[in-house]
Amino acid sequence: MRKELHEGNRRSWNEATVAHNSHRGDQVAFFHNGGTTLHPEELELLGDIRGLSVVHLQCNAGQDTLSLARLGAIVTGVDISDTAIDFARNLSQQTGLAATFVRSDLYEWFQEAAASRQRFDLAFCSYGAICWLSDIKTWAKGVAAILRPQGSLIVIDRHPVSRMFDWNGNRTSPYTTRGEVMSSEEGVGDYVAASGQGLAGGEYATGIQDFVNSHPSYEFSWGLGDIVTAVLDSGLTLTTLREYLYINDSPPFANMIASEGHWSLPPDQPNMPQMFSLTARK
């Protein structure tokens, strides 16, 4: 494990999480009023999860985790950030949506869960999670170890092709680094503020302005082939692989067009995948 890099990310996420949630308004009221942060794409992939045991990997501050609980699942959320897990636990208590939240380095949690024979019907991994994984093969093996027979993995995230380009469409990042770290002295940014209403999950609040993170962060670029191969090598059987020519919540590039809650490139520009999803079964 890249423990020192993971710990650096923990510190960076602790600081960023405070800024992120400062923009999300009254989240208790949002959930009391029936709100959900899951998109139609996730709901389609999940299907009926009532009564299933679900682990939400890299759950952040728990909004998606509690949305899974609202669907009737027995949910555990795991994240490395102390601040995020504290927030998630408080939100669970205040909304009455039951979920278990665990503060842990994900790779350490995989080892502990496998050793204590914790098993789940479904592992869920979504939006902005894959790029924080320092070892995609060990991650996939960890997922396979904590799934029950016939259990499933569901991943939906930004497409690695889309991640190569900056706001102005310039190619600035590699498609894959195959485990080589990409450091950022700026740390985890306030992408919730940048998205405006897109990631608020309810009413957007002004919150913290001009956020500057004092802790650097460390990301990893994994290509679609890296991810799929790791899943297959773990012994899981791939059941679906989809690419989406649009993205949810907020645009990653200038001049994108909003339509039905999605953001797409203008029709006069060549298209490219913005998100991908995969499902696999043990």
What's the whole-number mean pLDDT along residues 43-56? 97
267-280: per-residue pLDDT in tens?
A: 999 999 999 999 99
Segments of 140-216 assigned E as strands: 147-158, 181-184
What is the H or E stretch that residue 275 is in? Answer: strand 275-281
259 pLDDT exceeds 90? no
Task: Report the greatest alpha carbon distance in the chain.
Answer: 55
What's the whole-number mean pLDDT along residues 153-171? 95
191 pLDDT exceeds 80? no
Six-digit token string for 267: 């029709």
- The helix/strand/coil state of 71 is coil
CATH among 3.10.450.50, 3.40.50.10490, 3.50.50.100, 3.40.50.150 for 3-281: 3.40.50.150
pTM, rounded to two decimals: 0.94
pLDDT at 174: 95
175 pLDDT exceeds 70? yes
Contact between 66 and 97 (Cβ < 8 Å): yes
* Cα separation values, 108 from 1, 74, 78, Å: 9, 22, 11
Question: Which band of pLDDT confidence, cut at 50, 70 and 90, is reported for residue 132?
Answer: very high
260 pLDDT exceeds 90? no
Contact between 129 and 260 (Cβ < 8 Å): no
pLDDT at 24: 79
205 pLDDT exceeds 90? no
199 pLDDT exceeds 80? no
pLDDT at 73: 98
Cα angle: 251, vertex 255, 258; to 5 degrees: 55
261 pLDDT exceeds 90? no
61-103: per-residue pLDDT in tens?
A: 999 999 999 999 999 999 999 999 999 999 999 999 999 999 9
* Cα separation values, 59 from 3, 80, 102, 162, Å: 19, 9, 10, 22
Domain ranges of the chain: 3-281
236-248: per-residue pLDDT in tens?
A: 999 999 999 999 9
Q: Listing from the earlier edge strand, what are the strands of the sheet with 147-158?
A: 100-103, 74-79, 53-57, 120-126, 147-158, 275-281, 237-244
What is the H or E stretch that residue 217 is in? Answer: strand 217-220
**Higher model confidence: residue 29 or residue 231?**
231
pLDDT at 59: 97
193 pLDDT exceeds 90? no
Contact between 275 and 247 (Cβ < 8 Å): yes
Residue at token pair 């009926």: 48
- The helix/strand/coil state of 75 is strand
pLDDT at 219: 95
pLDDT at 197: 66
Residue type, 229: T
Six-digit token string for 144: 């396979």
